[in-house]
Structure 1
Amino acid sequence: MGITVRNLHKRFGAFTALDGVSLYFARGELNALIGPSGCGKTTLLRVIAGLETADRGEVLLGGRDVGSLDARERQVGFVFQHYALFRHMTVFENVAFGLRVKPRRERPSEAAIRAKVHELLELVQLDWVADRYPSALSGGQRQRIALARALAVEPKVLLLDEPFGALDAKVRKELRGWLRRLHDELAITTIFVTHDQDEALDVADRIVVINHGQVEQTGSPQEVYDHPRTPFVYGFLGAANRLPGRLEPCGFVPEGAHAALALARTAGDAPVAQGPAHAYVRPHDLRLYRHDDAAHDGLAASVRRVIQLGASVRVELAGEAGQLEAELTRDAWEALALAEGERVTVVPRSLRVFAEH
């Protein structure tokens, strides 16, 4: 079932949570809503679910306007960050709950309920904990049970509000891979809210970046990461160095630098007017050369700190363009044979420039 939202507005007193949001979520897609705290992600999810009412705008599920339907009538499964399992019920009873509270004419037989619950517990790979209580489970297990409970009523749409937010990093990584595999198997239209950019890039078919109640950009993870349309998207989705300066006919000239840096333009990039501007570059797009290597023009800097991160190395730099961060492979760093305090030339492989407003 596809989901369409049109011109959604929602205020809480003086605070604007949604400011004219219009989006389409294609049937069977796994979509991630990302943005800073308070940007409107969860409010959008709750309006789609019927847990909040928009001040203006429409929500259509499968082409049907559901504005007059309450949450139970929308065939939407909702999973919260903090599990929301009934502590006094076993895992089996938690998953069966949604089926047992259906109106009598829609309620399956007890045998059908038992079969459905065991099928779902096998699906989330936890059929062996059916008789346990939530307190006996780990956080990751409880979240998988919450997902099984949401799936029990066979929703057309699945909404997940920071489903792994309360878990540690290792469990989060395991569960996001598991969620991707589960989604591929079930093909339910899914929207999940996350503040973890890596999680969105790793799991989603499409990303929606929201800021101050408005959509900044939508697209595939690779598209949004490689071609951010605004400075906010560039800075929010992944690490980025920000260089103030000016755009001149010869290229971008950072503050404190004397030479221009060449721009790498791609098809579809909007032209940027000459004048004050900011350039953005990812840490892995910075190349470092020894300062005595005269074959390369770039920014002069010195090595402040070196951080070993397994197969990669993060290098913190200070120079004429301010503080910078570069990311190199371990082999590339060892080939440079640099020490903290030594001078280097920093050459960006690509720059994205935005005019200063």
Structure 2
Amino acid sequence: MSIEVNNINKRFGQFVALDNVSLNFPSGELTALLGPSGCGKTTLLRIIAGLEHTDTGQVLLDGDDASASHVRERQVGFVFQHYALFKHMTVFENIAFGLRVKSRATRPSEKEIQEKVHRLLDLVQLDWLHDRYPPQLSGGQRQRIALARALAADPRVLLLDEPFGALDAKVRKELRRWLRRLHDELHVTSIFVTHDQEEALEVADRVVLMNKGKVEQIGSPAEVYNHPASPFVYGFLGSVNIFEGNLHAGVFDLAGTRFDVAGHDDAQNAKGLAYVRPHDIDVTRYVTGQTGITAQLNRVHAIGPLAQLELQRTDSSEIIEVTLSSERYRELELKEGEIILARPSKLRVFADGAVK
């Protein structure tokens, strides 16, 4: 099922949760709604589910206007962060619950319910826990049962609100790999809300970046990470260093080093901000007369394949984060407290007025 939302607006009192949001979610894709707390992503998910009403705008399911449809009519499966399992029911009974409360005309036979629940338990690899109760399960197991319960009603759309937010880091990583494999098997149109950048980039086919009720950028994980459309996206997706400099006629001057930058040919002695990832900065020993950002090496964390360097600029005391391969760091033979030169190898410049 394809999902389309057109010109969605939603306020809670004076707070603007969604500001004229329009999006299309293609059939069979797994889309992540990503952004900080309060950006509107969960409100949008609840509107698609029918759990929240819009002030204005439409929700289309396979081209049909579902804005006035009850949540039961939308055939949506919803998975919450905190599982919402019935503690007094076994795992089997939790999954069967939605099937057993259907109207007599649509309710499967008891045999069909038994077969379907065991198929779903096999799918989430937990059939061996069918007679346990939720308090006897780990957090990861409970979330997989919650997902099986959502799938029991054969939803046309699967919506997940911070599905792994209550779990520890190791379990989160295991479950998001598992969710990706499950989606590749089922191909149910799925939307999941997260504030975890790594989670969105690893799991989703497409990422929708949201901020202050608006959509900042839409694209594949590679597109939004490698080609951020705004300063917000650049800053939200991973670590970034921000450098002030002068922008004039398509040239950005940073501490005496000049960079040709596209899209700023009309700039005339303007302030610019350069956004640079830690792995896009080269460092060398300080040599008098060479251009670059002069900085002191304050701290090094070199464990595993990468070395994380913390530098402090000598002219402004600002901190610079640099990531090198451990092999490159050993070659340089740098020492903490040493003065070195840092030079961006790749940067994205925004005019100062464009940064909000």
Aligning the two structures, in what range does the TM-score lie when normalised by the shorter sequence?
Answer: over 0.9
- Give the CA deviation at 1:271: 5.8
Question: Which SS does the other structure have where 1:99 is aligned?
Answer: helix
Which position in structure 2 is the counterpart of 1:310?
A: 304
Superposed displacement of residue 309, structure 1: 4.0
In 1, the alpha carbon distance for the partners of 2:250 and 2:69 equals 59
Equivalents in 2 of 1:66, 1:270: separation in Å? Answer: 44
Any conservation in 1 of the 2:8–2:55 contact (CA below 8 Å)?
yes
Matching residue of 1:208: 208
2:284 partner letter = Y
Closer, same or farther: CA 122–272 of 1 in aligned 2, 3 Å = farther
- CA distance in 1 between counterparts of 2:114 and 2:264 reads 58
Q: Which residue matches 1:42? A: 42
Deviations 1:76-132 (A, max 9, x none): 000000000000000000001111111110110000001000000000000000000
Q: Could you list the per-position Cα deviations for residues 44-95 of structure 1 after superposition, in whole angstroms to 9, with x for gaps in the alignment?
A: 0000000000000000011111111111110000000000000000000000
CA contact (8 A) 1:8 1:56 kept: yes
**SS of match in other structure, 1:287:** strand
Which residue in 1 is equivalent to 2:273? 278
Structure-2 residue corresponding to 1:345: 341
Deviations 1:260-295 (A, max 9, x none): 332465xxx67673411111000011111111387x
The Cα RMSD (Å) is: 1.5
CA distance in 2, matches of 1:110, 1:69: 29
1:61-76 to 2 correspondences below 5 Å: 61-76=61-76
Q: Is the 8 A contact 1:305 1:317 kept in 2?
A: yes
3-state secondary structure, aligned to 1:262: strand
Q: Give the length in aligned residue pairs.
A: 350
Q: What's the secondary structure of 2:42's corresponding residue?
A: helix
Give the Cα–Cα distance (whole angstroms) in 1 for the partners of residues 236 and 171 of structure 2. 23
Answer yes or no: is the 8 Å Cα contact 1:250–1:260 preserved in 2.
Answer: no
Partner Cα separation in structure 1 for residue 281 and residue 191 of structure 2: 34
> d(CA) in 2 for partners of 1:33 and 1:185?
22
Distance 1:185 1:272 in 2: 51
- 1-10 or 307-316: bigger deviation: 307-316
TM-score by length of 1: 0.95
Q: Which string of whole-angstrom CA distances, capped at 9 and with x for unpartnered residues, describes residues 210-259 of structure 1?
A: 000000000001001011111000000111101122212473223xx2x1
Question: Within 5 Å, which residues of 2 pair with 1:19-30?
Answer: 19-30=19-30
Unaligned runs of 5+ in 2: none
1:287 to 263, 282, 291: 282
Q: Provide the secondary structure at the position in 1 that maps to 2:166.
A: coil
Q: Distance in 2 between matches of 1:209 and 1:192?
A: 12
**Paired residues of 1:17 and 1:39 also in contact (CA < 8 A):** yes
Amino acid at match of 2:279: H
The one-letter amino acid of 2:337's match is: G
| Greater displacement, 239-248 / 275-284 | 239-248
Counterpart contact for 1:206–1:219, Cα < 8 Å: yes
Structure 1 residue identity aligned to 2:135: S
Q: 1:175 to 1:272 in 2, by over 3 A?
A: farther
Distance (whole Å) between structure 2 residues aligned to residue 250 and residue 90 of structure 1: 66
TM-score, reference length from structure 2 = 0.95
Task: Tell me, in whole angstroms, the C-alpha distance in 1 between the residues paired with 2:303 and 2:257.
Answer: 32
- Residue in 2 aligned with 1:98? 98
- Measure, in 1, the Cα distance between the counterparts of 2:34 and 2:261: 27
- The residue matched to 1:165 in structure 2 has which SS? coil
Greater Cα offset, 306-315 or 210-219: 306-315
Q: Give the aligned residue type for 1:298.
A: G
Q: Name 2:293's counterpart in structure 1.
A: 299
SS of 2:258 mapped into structure 1? coil
SS in 2 for 1:128: helix
CA distance in 2, matches of 1:144, 1:282: 36
**Whole-angstrom CA distance in 2 between matches of 1:263 and 1:9:** 41
Which of 317, 324, 327 is 2:323 aligned to?
A: 327
Q: Does 1:356 align with 2:320?
A: no
For structure 1, the residue ranges without an aligned partner over 5 or more in a row are none
Amino acid at match of 2:177: G
Q: Which runs of 4+ in 1 moved over 2 A?
A: 248-251, 269-274
Q: How does 1:157-172 map to 2 (within 5 A)?
A: 157-172=157-172
What residue is the counterpart of 2:242 in the other structure? 242
Alpha-carbon displacement from aligned partner over 1:152-180 (angstroms, at most 9, x marks no partner):
00001000000000000000000000000
Residue identity opposite 1:175 in structure 2? L
Give the equivalent residue in structure 2 for 1:146: 146
Name the CA distance, whole Å, in 2 between partners of 1:351 and 1:337.
26
